[in-house]
Chain A
């Protein structure tokens, strides 16, 4: 036992000498592993950070909000609208039916949305922003407050009113310090009156509530979007315990609206989801995406490993005489094999370590960047599983790709190795 510890100490001392002799090559050999490991760390960390952001954004929607999306989707899959597919099965009448307290007794308020983008201008200033066609319940459902002015009334949803409410950022960009209320702004050749400005709110549900112009629903549909449907209806429930009941009520009433008899949900052309469900779905998606990407990054480790094997085989050939000499002065085949195997494993392990440090640093800078861009809920997370995965794969790669060159080295006959030119 003592001998083995002694010989291990000697091997390690030998190792650093031989690694240092070829600094450039050692570094280049390591590079593949460094990049692969930092890739795994960054992907896992950024994934976790983004996930934290998404989760907190969805939580910010409130647990008392139920979403009605157009199109049918399975329980665990995302609504089609998430994938960018436009489905037009929801309309204003559906919203009206939901708003009816007789149909949905636990309802506080519901709001319909149709989204677009456009450039708004006032005098010489213009600003590109999100245009949100909404109904009068917006403030109640989204928990946004007015800074000044008023919100548009229920009647204005339908009567092609040109009154709009602007987010605080839009106010800043267009008007600066000037008063916005009562001013006329231009959007796509149409003139609108600013009747209200929203209080600063920040990111809600991954969109910036400060960077938008709220336009009465009908006006948005007809004048700007040129459509007749709603992109989503969001329903606020009076109490968390009633969320399930409201979801059932909403499904029932929309089926009635759409003449769907089947109450199992198979025929539905819409999907009702609570924030909790959305959270689960999003977590499932981001988790699988994260592991998928990490797997691709880990694949690059295998490529790095093949590179290392290549270099080690070259190294064995190059050091044939050295191997012969070592055997002549008393190295056993096992000594030689261990020497090369330890060399490979240390290259991958040291590379892995550098990769973890580098990956963590880069992840931290990405985190700082996210903070700078005001994604306050982005978290800096280095997960233990990503570190374990990287270290594990590095060592295994070293072991697998080190064995062949090491065996090749140990099999050399001393006299042939010495004679090798």
Chain B
């Protein structure tokens, strides 16, 4: 078991106003799974993903990563885990402005404690998303689909076990969205665990397992019977 969530609850406290967003959510994730977390906005799916990715923390409940309780980790260890274990892909890309594609992809390596040839690793990651021809473009010079592929390359560069994607196709046209899903499926085929947050059923059907959230509670947890394969008409180089 890679990730173990036990009765996770989360309440936001904004200037004394308490807003509960998650109630006793429990499920496990195994290595190599492709999970889509679905639900309408406000259902708590993003918060759940942030907690899984160690970007946020549960108010109550237990979270074990590779059988280790994350409560015992300090800031430095959490940073190291985010750096080594997880790769994040966001709806709005979050690329550094006025910086080249290559530099963006290299960024996680600057926080890596291991010595590495960051340029070579970044090139490899960009190759796997078909963007070797954009290495020295600035991030404002490329299309939305390309931006998201850069973000995926950045998520891959440290060779993490788990890719967390928060509405990765949300800002993309269908063709670019298809390309992104194709890349995620390929990564999953290579053995990476993918956790995808989406509100589109069509996108969720590309996964192997769908967890539906409603009002902060886990509603259903089902296997996908007729899994979609992203067509390769979004041609990748």
Contact = CB atoms under 8 A, between A and B. Distances in A.
A186 interface: no
A332 B75 contact: yes
A333 B111 contact: no
B88 to A, nearest CB: 5
B198 interface: no
A324 B108 CA distance: 13
A6 B158 CA distance: 17
Interface string A1-31: 0010011001101100100010000000000
Contacts of A3: 113
A330 B108 contact: yes
A14 B94 CA distance: 17
A331 interface: yes
Interface in A367-421: 413-415, 418
A329 interface: yes
| Residue of A14, A21, A329, A415 ringed by the most chain B CB atoms within 10 A | A329
A414 B111 contact: no
Contact of A329 (B75, B88, B98, B103): B88
A: interface residue count bin: 20 to 34
A56 interface: no
B83 interface: yes
Given A17-B103, A321-B94, A332-B75, A6 B111 contact: no
Given A17-B103, A327-B82, A330-B80, A10 B53 contact: no
A21 B99 contact: yes
B31 interface: no
Contacts of B108: 329-330
B107 A329 contact: yes
A324 B82 CA distance: 12
Contact of A413 (B53, B56, B96, B98): B56
Interface string A143-164: 0000000000000000000000
Contacts of B98: 21
Nearest to A325: B94
Given A328-B53, A418-B94, A6 B115 contact: yes
B107 A17 contact: no
Contact of B111 (A330, A413, A415): A330
A330 B112 CA distance: 8
A299 interface: no
Given A322-B96, A335-B79, A328 B55 contact: yes
23 contacts: A6-B115, A14-B110, A17-B99, A17-B103, A21-B97, A322-B96, A326-B107, A327-B79, A327-B82, A328-B55, A328-B82, A328-B88, A329-B108, A330-B82, A330-B84, A330-B112, A332-B78, A332-B80, A332-B111, A334-B76, A335-B79, A335-B111, A413-B56
